Amino acid sequence: MEEQLEHAARLLRGARRVAVLTGAGISAESGLATFRGAGGLWEGQRVEDVATPRAFERDAALVWRFYNLRRANLATVQPNPGHRALVDLENRLTGNFTLVTQNVDGLHQAAGSKNVLEIHGAIRLVRCTGCRLTTDRGVEPLPDLPKCEDCGSLLRPDVVWFEEMLPHDVWRQAEEAVGACECFLVIGTSAVVHPAAGLVSWARANHARIIEINLTATVATSYADTALQGPSGVVLPDLLKRYAEGKTVDS
């Protein structure tokens, strides 16, 4: 692990443009459940079966109950040392830093990250299914079938479900930043959901060096120059410490 950490710190120090992809694993140590694996099922069902527009058409109240629970839960959680280490990296880096997150929990911004691209939307935002007006409702509790104040249509969480397109402009910026980066960190994601997972091979095709941080090996591991296995709340602060220590030596 020591050697891998040093290798990763060196890759990071050698890069002026850094991009990061995060998934649910980075928020696990804040107390939020991940999607897949133990305890990661959505009310006993596979996320692929329920996080769809069809599920919302079938039973909007069920879907809203789930999102309201998650919104309420968000009011009780804080960013963890993994989120904070990424703030530290953004602040120390003199070049470009882009944080692409699949998470909808807003914890990167709560920690202080600035250049964040939320490619799967945000749980604090709601969107009208009629007039499409999007508003920030924070973590305030909403009814099981919340209605738009403007036109009275049903509201939905402003997140990206399966079979839906990612927000076009945000996705374009993510592709551009990852395609241009020299070092790409892939943190706490199973890397099975596309098109986000495709960013890993996209970075590789554009000659980025890739560092993965995860509890286990994933489909992204074979693309990684180095894979640091462990909780991101521990590994990321360790990596940042080494990065900062060696910075004056290397630069």
**CB 218, CB 212: distance < 8 Å:** yes
Active site residue 168: no
Residue closest to ligand BJW, measured at CB: 25
Q: How far apart are CA 237 and CA 69, in angstroms?
A: 30
Which region, judged by CB under 5 A, interacts with Zn ion, from 89-97, 144-152, 174-182, 219-227?
A: 144-152
Residue 104 touches ligand BJW, criterion: CB under 6 A: yes
Given the rule CB under 6 A, which of 6-14, 124-132, 148-156, 191-199 is the region that contacts ligand BJW?
191-199
Site for Zn ion in 120-139 (CB under 5 A): 128, 130-131
Q: Is 35 in the site for ligand BJW (CB under 6 A)?
A: yes
Q: How many residues bind Zn ion (CB under 5 A)?
A: 7
Contact 196, 21 (CB under 8 A): yes
Residue closer to Zn ion, measured from CB, 115 or 129: 129
Give backbone dihedrals phi and psi of 206, rounded to 5 degrees, phi first.
-100, 20
Q: What's the start-to-end Cα distance of the chain, in Å?
A: 24
36 binds, among Zn ion, ligand BJW, none (CB under 5 to 8 A by kind): ligand BJW
Q: Is 150 in the site for Zn ion (CB under 5 A)?
A: yes
- Residue (144 or 150) nearer to Zn ion, CB: 150
CB-nearer residue toward ligand BJW: 10 or 36: 36
x-or-dash pattern for ligand BJW, window 12-31, by CB under 6 A? -----------xxx--xx--
Q: Of ligand BJW, Zn ion, none, which one does residue 151 interact with (CB within 5 to 8 Å by kind)? A: Zn ion
Q: Could you say which of 148, 178, 228, 240 contacts Zn ion (CB under 5 A)?
A: 148
Residues sharing a CB contact under 8 Å with residue 12, sequence separation 6 or more, in sequence order: 18, 89, 183, 185, 211, 239, 243
Q: Which of 7, 120, 168, 207 is catalytic?
A: 120
Judged by beta carbon distances under 5 to 8 A according to partner kind, the member of Zn ion, ligand BJW, none in contact with residue 239 is none
- Of 6-14, 106-114, 153-161, 205-213, the window that binds Zn ion (rule: CB under 5 A) is 153-161
List of residues contacting ligand BJW (CB under 6 A): 23-25, 28-29, 34-36, 40, 47-48, 51, 102, 104, 120, 159-165, 188-190, 192-195, 214-216, 218, 231-232
